[in-house]
Chains A and B, each alone.
Chain A
Amino acid sequence: MSDATSDMQVTAASDVEVDRAALDKSIKDFAGPNGDYYVRVFHKIHDATGAFPWTFNIAAALLGPIWAASRAIWGMFWAFLILEIIAWVQIGRGLWGDLGADFLDRAAQQRERMQERLDQAAAAADEETRQRFETLAGNMQRAIEQNIERAEAAQAEAAGILITGVILLVAFKLMQGVYANILYEKQYSHWRIDPDHVESGRYTPNLVLGCGLTAAIAPLIIYKFTVSNSLSLLNEFPERRVSEIFLGEGGGTLFGAVASWMEDRIDAAATAGSDVFDGIVSGVRTVLDGLTLALNGSPWPVVMLVVAVTAYRAAGPRVAIFTVAAMAYTALLGYWALAMETVALVGSAVLLCVIIGIPLGIWFGKSNRAYRMAEPVLDLMQTLPAFVYLIPIIAFFGTGNPPGILATIIFGMPPVIRLTALGMRGVPESIKEAAVAFGASKWQLLKDVELPLALPSIMTGVNQTILMCLSMVVIISLIGGGGLGQEILEALQFAAKGPGLLGGFAILFLAMVMDRIVQGAFKRADQT
């Protein structure tokens, strides 16, 4: 059609000429010094038809990690720095490492003690005592000989270690020589894509940095592993001495100072905000009491019937049968009241998670800034080990069931928040735009479009939250939470295998029943 297309000649792939000139210039731009060498080896790599292009970079082999640093191939620098140090440590140990030193030391000590025994034998008053000491000394003598033998054997290994070290070093050098150009060519390919961010050429600061790192790391490590009685400073971080610098002599450790300062702060905060914290606890207790009353206050046959029918309606006959069996297990083993307490605990936690979590999720789904700020907090809530925040919870809220629920909420709420936000973000812009174009207000948009479309994701979040809350049941018994968790904790304390396992199964059944019923209900809701 146009002139450009008519000028274009179609050529078979086999006839296409490789345009060396442009490529050469680009490679030279990339490589900087020694450009001609790299042009040659890159061509060799580019022209290679086999799986592995064989080239050998003498500079890389000789200089090792320092070459890699100068060419800014940092992955190669670190990998081979570590490998070469391993080789050098072996060489060092083989050459001047005092290999049998441990055994010789022991032998020397034993010799002293043998001498003591001999002296005691010489000084002994009666024949019996003398003989006893002489026997002891004889035993000692054998031990000494053994140790000396071992030391000699260890020293004999020195040659072997040295040879191993040398072989390793040569092998690593060869590997670097062979792989250097291949890795450098990869770097070149990256550089072509993103020349602003991929380093190219030989850059003196990189060379200095590489030399510096090598100089700082290699000698210390080799010294530490080679010399048997190296400086104690290198074995252990001198935290006491550092503490003395900050706090003066006899001022205790930094750890002690920071810990006691934090304790004071927490105590002060707990006292200052006691009204607020008491309010929160009583709010949680109200929810818990309501649920406990419903589950444990109602006659057990009523509760069982309601649960069984719910299971049947929500998830079908198979789950209903399983539910009945699980309830029979808990009831027959006398766990009924405890199980209901656990359900009340988990139920209140889940309820609060949902009530707080879904609005937060909606907010984070709509506001990017809020989500960015909340994300680290959510990560923290999920990754912080539960034992860590149990302590401040005790400080602020005391012990018992309500603080246990609060701890459960901290652990259980992130999924429902995250998945609500995810669901809100997943609502297609076009559908939202359509609703707005037809005059929907913000509330109508949320109610008619965003929430219904985000619902599957929100339900997944609620289900995950339920499971996370159940997994906290045992942990919160540490701060006085009741129910089945307490049973397990007691069994653990007395290593009571039978009760522990029975209680454990009760929790497992509880979790499975809750999960199945909730999932069944959600599936049903999805279909309508």
Chain B
Amino acid sequence: MNDPVVKLENVWKIFGDRSSEAMQAVLDDGLTKPEVLEKYKCVVGVQGASFEVARGEIFCIMGLSGSGKSTLVRHVNRLIEPTAGKIEILGQDVSSLSDRDLRRIRAQQIGMVFQHMALLPHRSVRDNVAYPLEIRKMPKSKRWAVSDHVLGLVDLTGYEDRLPRELSGGMQQRVGIARALASDPEILLMDEPFSALDPLIRLQLQDQFKALVAQLRKTTLFITHDLDEAIRIGHRIAIMKDGVIVQIGTPEDIVMNPADEYVRDFVQGISKLKLVKAHSIIESMDSYPGSLDGAPRADESADLDALIDLAVGTDLPVVITQDGADIGIVSKPRLLRGLQGGKDERRNQ
């Protein structure tokens, strides 16, 4: 049960006619991305990506356009063949699958949602959702029933017989999500599913999606170029830059301890109120010389927002507890620094 559902080990993707030569050169001589481009006219898409995604986890891959995140996620269902490295889903090596097995896994274990919906324009919403089942040769009565059920999950009951073009963008993407869920797959691959939607619809869909995935317990790889979205949706986030995974961590990790300047620039504008929890900014009990009598108490999992509410009513620091026992305090300076994303450690060191 603890085995990862998706596991990538040192995956490389080099595009171009001489990709294998270029790969060898990279491994032997450690050529950099521009050198490979110049010498072999090959583009390095992904450089040595490794990560594991646990069952039921939402794993976000965040990066700007061209950072290789879409390329990376297409390795999971082998829409793109890796140049080097190993990809396992549900304990099976994807590269070793025969064409037939690969199609079976795609149809049964992996659902995918695309940025531009990619619905079949000549089929009704119901038939679009049922298409993965049709590929598996499920009888029409059965697949229509499944399709109607899944459309209910995304609140599209009543639209089954419409054509996709009659629906708004947000509704079309919900059809896309329903299609991905139709075959009840273990894994969902979401390729910037909400990027093309306007902000309000995007927020709605994010919440709806998060609730749905939590309910259905799908293992999800979620691609986005929007850190807010990644933080809102992801249990863990991988940040990619130029084909390299720069940092993997929980949203709080990434915001509080950015691995490098690139990530730091990203997280600067992110609101920490709901994100940063008391345990990340905790100080030792001894750091406050006076008495803590009458100080407010909060659990270590309380966020900054809750801590501020407690702190404004008193001059004393907030005492942090774990399972009812006091484990430390958060002073007001510390709290304010926490709002800035732990700036003091960085600048004052």
Q: Which residues of A contact B (CB under 8 A)?
A: 428, 430-431, 433-441, 444, 448-449, 452-453
Contact = CB atoms under 8 A, between A and B. Distances in A.
B114 interface: yes
A5 B297 CA distance: 47
B122 A437 contact: no
A414 B122 CA distance: 27
B106 A430 contact: no
A452 B131 CA distance: 14
Interface in B113-165: 114-116, 118-122, 131-132, 134-136
B233 interface: no
Shortest 5 CB-CB contacts between residues of A and residues of B? A439-B107, A434-B118, A439-B106, A438-B132, A439-B103
A430 B121 CA distance: 12
A449 B120 contact: yes
A437 B120 contact: no
Nearest to B107: A439
A436 B102 CA distance: 10
Contact of A441 (B103, B108, B183): B103
Nearest to A429: B118
Contact of B77 (A437, A440, A444, A452): A437
Contacts of B104: 439
Interface in B173-193: 179, 183, 189
Nearest to A444: B135
B114 A430 contact: yes
Nearest to A437: B112
B281 interface: no
Nearest to B137: A444
Given A448-B120, A449-B120, A453-B121, A435 B131 contact: yes
Nearest to B116: A430
A438 B107 contact: yes
Most buried by B among A434, A435, A441, A449: A434
A440 B134 CA distance: 9
A431 B118 contact: yes
Given A448-B131, A453-B121, A433 B114 contact: yes
B118 A428 contact: yes
B5 to A, nearest CB: 17
A444 B107 CA distance: 13
A438 B106 CA distance: 5
Interface string B46-64: 0000000000000000000
Nearest to A434: B118
A439 B79 contact: no
25 contacts: A428-B116, A430-B116, A430-B118, A431-B118, A433-B79, A433-B114, A437-B77, A437-B106, A438-B107, A438-B112, A438-B131, A438-B132, A438-B179, A438-B183, A439-B103, A439-B104, A439-B108, A439-B135, A439-B136, A440-B135, A441-B103, A441-B135, A448-B131, A452-B122, A453-B121
Given A431-B119, A439-B105, A439-B136, 16 more contacts: A428-B116, A430-B115, A430-B116, A431-B118, A434-B114, A435-B131, A435-B135, A437-B79, A437-B106, A438-B132, A439-B102, A439-B108, A440-B103, A441-B103, A449-B120, A452-B120
Given A438-B131, A438-B135, A433 B107 contact: no
B256 interface: no
A448 to B, nearest CB: 7
Nearest to A430: B118
A435 B41 CA distance: 31
A244 B122 CA distance: 69
Nearest to A445: B135
A479 to B, nearest CB: 43
B276 interface: no
Nearest to B132: A438
A434 B79 CA distance: 10
A497 B103 CA distance: 68
In which size bucket is the chain B interface? 20 to 34
Contacts of A449: 120
Contacts of B189: 437
B79 A436 contact: yes
Given A439-B135, A449-B120, A434 B112 contact: yes
B124 to A, nearest CB: 11
Contact of B132 (A428, A431, A439, A453): A439
A431 B116 CA distance: 9
Contacts of B79: 433, 436-437
Contacts of B119: 431, 434
B262 to A, nearest CB: 15
Nearest to B108: A439
Nearest to A449: B120
Contacts of A438: 106-107, 111-112, 131-132, 135, 179, 183
Contacts of B106: 436-439
Interface string B86-113: 0000000000000000111111101110
A445 B151 CA distance: 24
Contacts of B135: 435, 438-441, 444
Nearest to A452: B122
A441 B120 CA distance: 16
A252 B271 CA distance: 95
Contacts of A440: 103, 135
Nearest to B111: A438
Most buried by A among B103, B104, B119: B103
Nearest to A528: B122
A437 B102 CA distance: 10
B118 A433 contact: yes
Contacts of A453: 120-122
A339 B331 CA distance: 99
A444 B137 CA distance: 11
A424 to B, nearest CB: 15
B199 to A, nearest CB: 22
A228 B114 CA distance: 78
Nearest to B104: A439
A462 to B, nearest CB: 18
B35 to A, nearest CB: 24
A437 B115 CA distance: 14
Contacts of A448: 120, 131, 134
A441 B131 CA distance: 13
A289 to B, nearest CB: 37
A430 B118 CA distance: 6
A453 B119 CA distance: 11
B133 to A, nearest CB: 9
Nearest to A442: B99
B104 to A, nearest CB: 7
A281 to B, nearest CB: 40
Contacts of B131: 435, 438, 448
A431 B107 contact: no
Contacts of A434: 112, 114, 118-119
